[in-house]
Amino acid sequence: MTGLCSGRVTVVTGAGRGLGRAHALAFAAEGAKVVVNDLGVGVDGTGGAAGPAHEVVEEIRARGGEAVAHGGDIATADGAASLVATAVGAFGRLDTLVNNAGFLRDRMLVNLDEDDWDAVVRVHLKGHFLPLKYAAAHWRAEAKAGRAPEARVISTSSGAGLLGSVGQGNYSAAKAGIVGLTLVAAAELGGYGVQVNAIAPAARTRMTEQTFADTMAAPGPGGFDAMAPENVSPLVVWLGSAASAGVTGRVFETEGGRITVMEGWRPGPTADRGARWSPAEAGEAARKLLADAVPPQPVYGAR
């Protein structure tokens, strides 16, 4: 390894398993000191155990790295505040926040309970907002004290948040919200030395084992396992390092050996008559514009 993150302190939420675990190990391998956050819940967010976070900490230490566990609920103010305090208390600083924690409660919209909506939006969207809020407050204070940080935030969206996914209305809405939050945070925090980006990863984890059931068999040519979560982590580590200077407010899709810069909403065909349209005229104009527009990509799972 190159020591890309030597001297930096990184917090990773949801780091007990899957993508979060891969990120934590990858940051440690590049010299970062890591706070491993995880509640140890099931794939649907129920239950909880301290074991997964401590197991990852022990893995990092066994490889010669430094890490501490944090078992707080980052979708609460107390849990998010203590997450930042743990990094500063254990290692004296905070440089990178990787928001990754989440779970699924998939249902078609007509069968989606209010509790399942609230739970998924809470852990994904609120669980991004609160750690970001408290980390940003810390970095703002550092900047005002004359200690300008080279701080980094990596948010975790999804293809479901960019395109939508049938049966995942709650998850898709939360992941789309994370993109909006990322763009606002990048604009608001840049003056304090904070860069904020998002990834939309695809990898084999507990949350995606059904989605990728057909691609979970043997590795491809050369033994490359395209769905391994470890494939996503190199980009996250780079985004979380000082080497990514100048990169902010971006969304990257990443899967296997592929990295794509997602370009988001941009103005397409436009009509302006300089006066109010009637409903019929607005409809006629809209149909003409749609005929000239690029068709949207299909929603995941749509027939």
Residue 300 annotated as catalytic: no
Catalytic member of 82, 155, 158, 233: 158
User: Which residues are bridge partners to 35 per DSSP?
Assistant: 11, 68
Catalytic member of 157, 171, 172, 233: 171
Identify the three-state secondary structure at position 166: coil
Catalytic member of 175, 192, 233, 241: 175
Identify the three-state secondary structure at position 290: helix
Which of the 8 DSSP states describes residue 2?
A: -
Query: Which residue's entry shows tokens 């200690």?
Result: 147
For residues 72-111, one letter each, b for 16 or more C-beta atoms within 10 angstroms of the residue's C-beta and e for the rest, the string is bbbbeeebbbbbbebbeebbebbbbbbbbbbbbbbbeeee
- Order across the sheet with 67-70: list the strands: 67-70, 33-37, 9-12, 96-98, 151-156, 194-202, 251-255, 258-262
CA nearest neighbour of 96 among 159, 183, 16, 4: 4
Distance CA 276, CA 52 (A): 60
Residue 158 annotated as catalytic: yes
User: In this structure, are residues 12 and 36 in contact, taking their beta carbons and an 8 Å threshold?
Assistant: yes
Distance CA 96, CA 153 (A): 6
Cite the beta strand spans of the chain per DSSP E.
9-12, 33-37, 67-70, 96-98, 151-156, 194-202, 251-255, 258-262
Distance CA 168, CA 268 (A): 28
> For residue 102, what are its two tokens?
């989440």
Residues classed as catalytic: 158, 171, 175
